[in-house]
Amino acid sequence: MEDFLLNLNEPQREAVTTTDGPLMIIAGAGSGKTRVLTYRIAYLLKKGIDPFNIIALTFTNKAAREMRERIEKVAGTEARNLWMGTFHSIFAKILRIEADKLGYTSHFTIYDTEDSKSVIKAVLKELNLDDKVYKPSMILNRISNAKNNLITAAMYAQNEEVTAYDISSGKPQMSKIYAAYEMKCFKSGAMDFDDLLLKTYILFSKFPSALNKYQHKFKYILVDEYQDTNHCQFMIVKKLAAVYRNICVVGDDSQSIYSFRGATIKNILTFESEYPELKVIKLEQNYRSTQNIVNASDSIIKRNKDQISKKIWTQNNEGEKIKVLKAINDNEEGKFVAQTIFEMRMSKNLQNNNFAILYRTNAQSRSFEEALRKMNIPYKVYGGMSFYQRKEIKDFISYLRFISNQNDEEALKRIINYPMRGIGQTTIDRIIYLSGVYDIPLWQVVENANTFTELKSASSKVVDFAMMIKSFLVLKDKNNVYELSAYVAKVTGLLKILHEDKTIEGISRYENIVSLLNSIKEFAEDDTNEQEKTLENYLQDIALLTDTDKDETDFDKVSLMTIHSAKGLEFPVVFVGGIEENLFPSQMSLSNRKDLEEERRLFYVALTRAKEKVILSYATSRFKFGTLMPCEPSRFLDEIDKEFIENDKFYNIVNDRDDAYTSQSKNSSFSKFKNSILSKPENKPLPNPIENFIPENITDLTENMRIEHIRFGKGTVTKVEGLGENIKASVLFDDFGEKQLVIKFAKIRKI
């Protein structure tokens, strides 16, 4: 047992061996948190604790999988018996066992965001409400927030303050929508992501025997990333830990960045008030980053008031100072980042996957993507449409979902006429109507279609569809999940129609289905996972996947992602773009200190992703809603202690301060950077402006026209593009080479 403890520093060792009573581990960035969690569980197993009595809750399946693999190397195959996984996956497992208590079957469907929005749209249609007033995304967000705060539809309707707010905001039917949504999900035998938490809380609140069962089962409770828990998660964990009080929470208040998902930093800041006998251990040594990155990050986060006191330090080398780059616009920012990656990759023998480009919002990826493509640098954007959200995948998965749960109305509506089998929208609407009139599930109408005269001539086609589904139900009990899936793909004709589509998109869709079938086969043949290889378990696994759980085959690519998506990751070199006021910090966060402090924590997370090098960049102008708007550098740049920034001043990517919208041509724009970003910049002076220069408003600019610029002198227009106020021109100046001008900002006149 002592062997693996030798790999830990003193606070880490104390965190691993303190097994009884409440414990809070404050794990600073790069402090070896995963190792501590892994060894702590391994230590419990080595002490003889039954793995079935240990529950470890994480926020990603990937984290749980990696921890389980590490524990198994230390403690053996008993690690496979741990209850370890995400909150949603563990609670879904409990709910399937106890489903009958809540009026569900163990085969309930888990709705993703798209499914939930589809249900909401159906509710709006039934209630004859305007979806422009009651936007599905807004409604889903409101319902999600309610559930995360343990507010059911009935409680929502009874709360006078909430209903008064809805009335004043012009949405008086919110409580009806919530109630109808809740009922539709229940009738479909479905739960959304938030239900997996809320229903677990309800289970433990209304059924003391169930709570008592799991309180005595889980004698040791571990919660990772505790700063990201919401109120519902906090209450469930509190109930589970009430008997033995052997609860260990691990987190870092400085990395609490998910309030928009319902997470509350209060859970970690006030944890001691819930457990007066609490022991607190702080992991303050950073093993990831250089001294300069650690110190710069600390200089930022210490400005927050709501935090647990700690001092992060490292024995790593001092490293390079942070570089801050000023670009004239977001396109130039993207070009420079791509050029820098290319040069560093060559000069320092780095791989593409050594680089990450982080940004505050997904929309910022465009300029970086365009620049990387032009330089043939492979990259991967995280946070875009996931594999399981692609239409062809959703279509096929819907067949599997319906085979598992015939009450799943969303799945039925998706597959009943795909591939096309002559069951049009009119017939589908009649089926929905009949379901409502007779208060029976859609499937009951479908499988008895020939008894409903309202379906007219289409009834035979509906009956054929029902017979096909029934054949799948028979096979479900006789074949494994892969054999069933392959049969469904063939018999439905879905694989055939995709194979016959020889367009690029069609080939891609066909390959995606083949890839899905391969993944199902891997699931069916995986002997390292103790869970049963049932259709229901497969569907649950893919329903609860997160972005970081997918696409692990894209190895040597530059990573592009929002800072939120980057949490928990690390890279040798990190670029953070768009460090501008109203972008980062977000304009929506400037009205109160609480939101601003979360933005600062987000900036802290961005900096601490880097091992060796951080490059921050901002633009002096950026297109917003089709208009080029001026930008100013973020306050966060001023908050970094200047001793940690290179040259204690910002490096101008383009030196023309007066004509801020001028840029050099593609062939010459990076000539001054051939020694790469790591070299000292040359501050070449600009020519003085021409005295008494009077610019003209030129609206008839044409190629070959001779013009004069206030600084660059005389030149010839070589290209004109754009319309109206956004006209741009390429100009070959006699003494300064070719440059591009945005005419409405350029100070020029005709010769």
- Report, as residue numbers or ranges, the catalytic residues: 33-34, 224-225, 255, 609
Contact 337, 617 (CB under 8 A): yes
Output b/e per residue, 86-99; b: 16+ Cβ within 10 A: bbbbbbbbbbbebb
Contact 600, 584 (CB under 8 A): no
**What is the helix (H) or strand (E) element at residue 56, kind and residue range?**
strand 54-58
Output b/e per residue, 646-659; b: 16+ Cβ within 10 A: beeebbebbbbeeb
Q: Mapping DSSP to helix (H, G, I), strand (E, B) and coil, where does residue 508 land? A: helix
Dihedral, 541, 542, 545, 551 alpha carbons, nearest 10? 120
CA-to-CA distance for 649 and 645, rounded, in angstroms?
7
- The DSSP result for 426-483, as a single string, is HHHHHHHHHHHHHT--HHHHHHTGGG-GGGGGGHHHHHHHHHHHHHHHHHHTTS-HHH
Sequence-ordered strand ranges (E) for 556-641: 558-562, 571-576, 610-619, 621-624, 627-630
Beta bridge partners of 630: 621
Handedness of CA 558, 563, 565, 569 (dihedral sign): positive
CA 627 and chain centroid, separation = 29
CA 171 and chain centroid, separation = 29
Task: Check residue 553 and report its DSSP letter.
Answer: T
**Which is nearest to 689 in space by CA: 722, 712, 655?**
712
CA-to-CA distance for 533 and 552, rounded, in angstroms?
22
